[in-house]
């Protein structure tokens, strides 16, 4: 019944597929470096484009909760949830009720999170395209949502679990969990064994 694997699911081809193998490798390496063993990081072989009902035509954004629900339904059918955490990654702009936008969203009860990468691109802010910067932000936001899935709340330490609602705040935090959060994740993993 323990959580054994993390499944990264592309929600778009553009802006994601070209980085997905590198993201998979980076997440797996970072977890191991922090002493978090026993979690396989897999990449889902198909792009699961979110249904149009998740798209809000007045905001031109996708609703995070709707995509989480969609991924839950898809992976429920496959029957992987006892042992898996699912993180959808899409070059999309996402929102949640009461917020102008979100970089991502996680539903720990459902074992599903989503990362929206459109606002992680330097070009979004009128800056020059930079692969390294985009990729670092992508790693941070993926680790952040994954942290929520593994039972973490927001953290005020120098930690990837810091709340960030602007790209400056994303850039200011490290792409690692702090010691406190690593301990909590270890507890989470051993609790679910």
Q: Which residues bind Zn ion (CB under 5 A)?
A: 155, 157, 159, 161, 178, 181
Looking at the Cβ atoms of 66 and 159, the one nearer to Zn ion is 159
CA distance 10 to 92: 11
Looking at the Cβ atoms of 181 and 189, the one nearer to Zn ion is 181
Burial class from Cβ neighbours inside 10 Å (0-12, 13-18, 19+) for residue 144 reads: buried
Tokens of 25: 């490798």
Q: Which residues pair with 104 in a beta bridge?
A: 115
Looking at the Cβ atoms of 16 and 178, the one nearer to Zn ion is 178
State the catalytic residue, choosing from 105, 141, 145, 176.
145
Using CA atoms, how far residue 146 sits from 75, 96, 114, 140, in Å, is: 17, 18, 9, 10
Segment (H or E) for 131: helix 131-149
Tokens of 190: 């051993």
- In the complex, minimum distance from the CB of residue 1 to Zn ion, in angstroms, rounded to a whole number: 26
152 C-beta neighbours (distance < 10 Å), count: 22
Looking at the Cβ atoms of 83 and 115, the one nearer to Zn ion is 115
CA diameter of the chain: 46
- In the complex, minimum distance from the CB of residue 52 to Zn ion, in angstroms, rounded to a whole number: 27
Active-site residue, 145 included: yes
- In the complex, minimum distance from the CB of residue 129 to Zn ion, in angstroms, rounded to a whole number: 26
- In the complex, minimum distance from the CB of residue 67 to Zn ion, in angstroms, rounded to a whole number: 16
- In the complex, minimum distance from the CB of residue 102 to Zn ion, in angstroms, rounded to a whole number: 9
Looking at the Cβ atoms of 8 and 105, the one nearer to Zn ion is 105
DSSP letter for each residue of 31-54: HHHTT--S-EEEE-SS--PPPGGG
Catalytic annotation, residues: 145
């Amino acid at each position: 019944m323990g959580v054994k694997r993390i499944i990264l699911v592309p929600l778009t081809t553009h802006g994601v597929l070209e980085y997905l193998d590198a993201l998979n490798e980076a997440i797996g390496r970072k977890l191991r470096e922090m002493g978090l063993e026993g979690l396989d990081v897999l990449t889902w072989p198909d792009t699961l484009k979110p249904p149009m009902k998740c798209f809000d035509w007045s905001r031109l954004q996708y609703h995070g909760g709707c995509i989480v629900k969609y991924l839950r339904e898809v992976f429920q059918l496959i029957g992987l949830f006892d042992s898996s955490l699912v993180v959808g990654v899409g070059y999309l702009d996402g929102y949640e009720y009461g917020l102008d936008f979100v970089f991502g969203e996680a539903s720990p009860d459902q074992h599903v999170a989503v990362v929206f990468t459109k606002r992680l691109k330097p070009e979004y802010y009128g800056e020059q395209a930079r692969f390294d910067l985009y990729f670092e932000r992508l790693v941070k936001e993926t680790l952040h949502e994954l942290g929520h899935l593994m039972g973490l709340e927001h953290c005020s330490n120098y930690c990837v679990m810091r709340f960030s609602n602007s790209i400056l705040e994303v850039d200011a935090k490290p792409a690692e969990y702090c010691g406190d959060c690593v301990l909590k994740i270890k507890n989470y993993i051993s609790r679910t064994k």
